[in-house]
Amino acid sequence: MTNISVAMATYNGEKYIAEQLQSLADQSHLPFELVIGDDGSSDSTLDIIKDFRAHAPFSVHIHQNETNLGFARNFLATAKRCKGNWIAFCDQDDFWLPDKLAKTVDDICRTPNCSMVLQNAWLCDKDLNSRGRKFPNKLKAGIHDPGHQYGFWVWLGFLQTVHQDIIQLWDSSALPKNYFPGHSEYSHDKWTCLIANALGSIIVCDESVALYRRHEDALTGSYSQQSFRKRVIKARGVLGDHYDFLADVAKDCEEYMKCLAERTDKPAWASAFRKNAQQFCHLSEIQRLRGQLYAGPRFRERLTTCMQIAGMGGYLGQPFHAMGMRSAVKDIIRVAAGSRL
């Protein structure tokens, strides 16, 4: 039987949370339970939740954190309290369409041994008016095998449903560095993607099943589409020190995967984590070379390094470490132009 627990992290969400809670109650396939971790709200968030709990068509469990954990650790701590065999992350300010969980269950039942279900949403303004854009909409629908995503990838948490066994691997005392500079640790959704990419059988559903509300208080960006010129300017500002940083992060992830291989009591998982550690080692070597390319003072050095990256599959090759043609073009221009780029 597929039981889906909903894990919601809350913090001063009084403005939109009532709509989100009602969208959970209106699901055609109801959650097994709703588990809420509140991170110290000082507004009426908890009162709204308690009022909802009084008439909710499923169990609602509320945990108030003694100290502020931040949204990522709050989500993972809340998910670990869930009793269902599947966990769906839920933000406090979005809106789920009525068939979100029903479609999730259908995908799980059709795919034995899957580890994660990913879905899409409609990007909306603060009043839930759609911008007509499906989001994230960046992976082909279907089943994705282990290592078929780039080493540093993420799918938004509220569009993830994750197997409980993965959540039980989380240990707040040992997390790898985040590949976003300025953020010290992986967020909850980056962490689940990290693990699921090692284990594989990730299901991607093409249909939009939620309304993704963007507003002035949102923790993440507006996701407005950028012009080609702005993308080029942004790319030009990313230089060798950034790739050195990514090389360090990949090395950190390699060690993390080795630790997971030692901790798990599932031989198949241990093998998958060890293989993933090797993939991160390869990714680290590619990023280190890319840092050298952007620091190279001589044309010949830059050209040789670029050819090494290509030979290691750094541009075209296995999805886990292949950066794609845009990166290849950027690096070729750097080889030709040097620091004038």
pLDDT in tens, 202-212: 999 999 999 99
**Does the structure show a pLDDT above 70 at 63?**
yes
| Region at 313 (left for phi over 0; alpha for psi -120 to 50; beta for the rest) | left
Q: Residue 322 in 3-state DSSP?
A: coil
Q: Which residue has the higher pLDDT, 219 or 69?
A: 69
> Which residues contact residue 235 at a Cβ distance below 8 angstroms, ignoring those fewer than 6 apart?
326, 330
**Does the structure show a pLDDT above 70 at 226?**
no
pLDDT in tens, 29-42: 999 999 999 999 99
**pLDDT score recorded for residue 200:** 84
Which residues make up the CATH 3.90.550.10 domain(s) of the chain? 4-213
- Strand boundaries in the chain, DSSP class E: 4-10, 33-38, 59-64, 86-90, 95-96, 116-124, 130-135, 142-144, 160-163, 202-213
**pLDDT score recorded for residue 183:** 72
**Does the structure show a pLDDT above 90 at 173?**
no
d(CA 220, CA 150): 21
> Which residues contact residue 338 at a Cβ distance below 8 angstroms, ignoring those fewer than 6 apart?
296, 297, 299, 302
pLDDT in tens, 97-114: 999 999 999 999 998 889
- The per-residue pLDDT of the chain, averaged, comes to 91
**Does the structure show a pLDDT above 60 at 227?**
no
**Does the structure show a pLDDT above 80 at 236?**
no
Query: According to CATH, what is the number of the domain 4-213?
Result: 3.90.550.10
**Does the structure show a pLDDT above 60 at 234?**
no
**Does the structure show a pLDDT above 60 at 283?**
yes
**Does the structure show a pLDDT above 50 at 224?**
yes
Q: Which residue has the higher pLDDT, 216 or 129?
A: 129
d(CA 268, CA 263): 13
**pLDDT score recorded for residue 196:** 95
Q: What's the rounded mean pLDDT across residues 116-136?
A: 94
pLDDT in tens, 242-282: 999 999 999 999 999 999 999 999 999 999 999 999 999 99
Q: Are 193 and 159 in contact (CB under 8 A)?
A: no
Task: Return the closest-CA partner of residue 4 out of 37, 34, 26.
Answer: 34
This model's pTM is above 0.85: yes
First to last CA, the chain: 57
Q: What's the rounded mean pLDDT across residues 169-196?
A: 83
**pLDDT score recorded for residue 214:** 84
**pLDDT score recorded for residue 53:** 98
